[in-house]
């Protein structure tokens, strides 16, 4: 089973950064990719992120997710091209849907943005222990309920994958054959999703009690094995600030 968005135990450069630095990294890269509409810039950011992934020793995990990105990209491009026509019309499908240069360009920009965001978030999640993340967000005054919601959502991805697979097998053993393709996926919703959701809801009750019993909602916490900003963190923050400054300046020049 391929694990999605799970912390990977490694000693890479990204693992050594403090969670706060990595949060700043995700925010900076996120803002730049959302503001920019330049295809070469966005493609450049993806290359930089892949280089960082290689240096951090996370390239295998990051590249594995590219299949998901490829599938989502195709869907994004198709939806954008159909719904946002603009510029020159290249050809018309079935006499109704115009395929335009503008639509294609916006589709490519959206896809690249999506790839940048997914890759940046992945680098962050793969290299940050949830406990460190909880501490950092707590220090940033994010309410603990929201922090735990995020951490628990990540933690339960593999559990739900395993359970979904078991349920699917149990239904196959009952002669169930939903067929392949989109139709099959829709038909499999009730027999697979209903047990999956019912079991998860039953589990959420115990999970809620566990959180309360362990005292996460109390503000008491012994500072233990804290991740403080080190020299490398300051260096990365300076690089991020410079990159952001250059980006803002270029955007401003273009606007003028």
Partner 1 sequence: MIRLDSVSYAYPHTGKPALTDLSLSIGKGQCVMVTGPSGAGKTTLCLASAGILAHEYGGKKEGTVMIDGRDVKSYKDLSDIASNLGIVFDDPEAQLIFTTVEEEILSALERRGLQVEEIEDRLRAIMELTKLSGLKDRAPHTLSGGQKQRLVLAVTLCLGTGILILDEPTSELDEHGTDGILGILKGLKAQGRTILLVEHKFTRMREIVDTLIVMEDGHIRASGIPDEVILDPAIRKIVLPNFTGIRERTQNAGETVSSEPLIVVKGLTHTYGTDIHALRTIDLTISSGEFIAIVGENGSGKTTLIKHLNGLLKATAGFVSVKGKDTSKTTITELARDVGLVFQNPDHMFFADTVRLEVAFGVDNLKIPDRDEVIDHALMRVRLTHAKDLYPRWLSRGERQRLAIACVLAMQPAVIVLDEPTTGLDGKEAREVMEVLKELQLAGHTVIIVTHSMEIAQNCADRVITMENGSILSDVCTTGERS
Q: Does 180 bind partner 1 (CB under 8 A)?
A: no
- Residue 57 CA, chain-centre distance (Å), reads 18
Check binding of 38 to partner 1 (CB under 8 A).
no
Report the Cα–Cα distance between both ends of the chain, in Å, rounded.
51
Tokens at 22, concatenated: 């990595």
Q: Does 134 bind partner 1 (CB under 8 A)?
A: yes
Rounded to the nearest 10 degrees, the angle between the axes of helix 19-35 and helix 101-127 is 180
250 contacts partner 1 (rule: CB under 8 A): no
Q: Where are the beta strands (DSSP E) in the chain?
A: 89-93, 97-100
- Residue 226 CB, nearest distance to partner 1 (Å)? 10
One of 96, 213, 253, 256 touching partner 1 (CB under 8 A): 213
Binding residue count for partner 1, defined by CB under 8 A: 53
Q: Does 185 bind partner 1 (CB under 8 A)?
A: no
Q: Is 145 in the site for partner 1 (CB under 8 A)?
A: no
Helices 130-139, 19-35: crossing angle, 10 deg rounding: 80
Contact 138, 219 (CB under 8 A): no
224 touches partner 1 by CB under 8 A:
yes
195 binds partner 1 (CB under 8 A): yes
When asked if residue 105 is in the footprint of partner 1 (CB under 8 A), the reply is no
Examine residue 139 and tell whether it contacts partner 1 (CB under 8 A): no
Judged by CB under 8 A, the residue of 13, 114, 150, 216 near partner 1 is 216
What separation in angstroms does the CA of 118 have from each of 122, 135, 136? 6, 23, 21
CA dist 12 → 15, 59, 178 (Å): 5, 11, 44
Residue 130: helix, strand or coil by DSSP? helix
| Shortest CB 78 distance to partner 1, Å | 32
Does 144 participate in binding partner 1 (rule CB under 8 A)?
A: no
Q: Helix crossing, 101-127 with 39-55: angle to 10°?
A: 20
What H or E segment, with its residue span, contains residue 67?
Answer: helix 66-83
Interface pick for partner 1 out of 30, 57, 98, 191 (rule CB under 8 A)? 191
Using the rule CB under 8 A, is 166 a contact of partner 1? Answer: yes
Positions touching partner 1 (CB under 8 A) are: 6-7, 9, 129-131, 134, 148, 151-152, 154-155, 158-159, 162-163, 166-167, 169-177, 190-191, 194-195, 198-199, 203-204, 206-207, 209-218, 220-225
């Amino acid at each position: 089973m391929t694990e999605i968005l799970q912390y990977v135990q490694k000693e890479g450069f990204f693992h050594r950064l403090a969670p706060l630095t990595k949060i700043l990294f995700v925010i900076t890269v996120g803002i730049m990719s959302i503001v920019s509409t330049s295809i070469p810039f966005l493609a450049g950011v993806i290359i930089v992120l892949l280089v960082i992934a290689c240096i951090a020793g996370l390239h295998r995990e990051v590249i594995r997710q590219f299949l998901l990105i490829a599938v989502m990209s195709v869907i994004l491009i198709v939806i954008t091209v159909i719904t946002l026509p603009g510029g020159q019309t290249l050809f018309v499908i079935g006499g109704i849907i115009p395929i335009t240069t503008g639509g294609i360009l916006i589709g490519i920009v959206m896809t690249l943005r999506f790839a940048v965001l997914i890759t940046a978030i992945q680098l962050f999640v793969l290299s940050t222990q949830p406990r460190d993340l909880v501490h950092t967000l707590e220090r940033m005054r994010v309410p603990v309920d929201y922090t735990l919601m995020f951490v628990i959502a990540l933690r339960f991805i593999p559990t739900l994958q395993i359970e979904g697979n078991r349920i699917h097998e149990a239904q196959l053993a009952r002669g169930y054959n939903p067929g392949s393709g989109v139709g099959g996926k829709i038909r499999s919703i009730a027999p697979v999703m209903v047990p999956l959701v019912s079991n998860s809801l039953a589990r959420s009750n115990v999970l809620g009690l566990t959180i309360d019993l362990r005292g996460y909602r109390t503000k008491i916490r012994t500072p233990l094995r804290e991740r403080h900003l080190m020299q490398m963190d300051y260096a990365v923050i300076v690089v991020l600030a410079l990159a952001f400054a250059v980006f803002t300046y270029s955007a401003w020049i273009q606007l003028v």
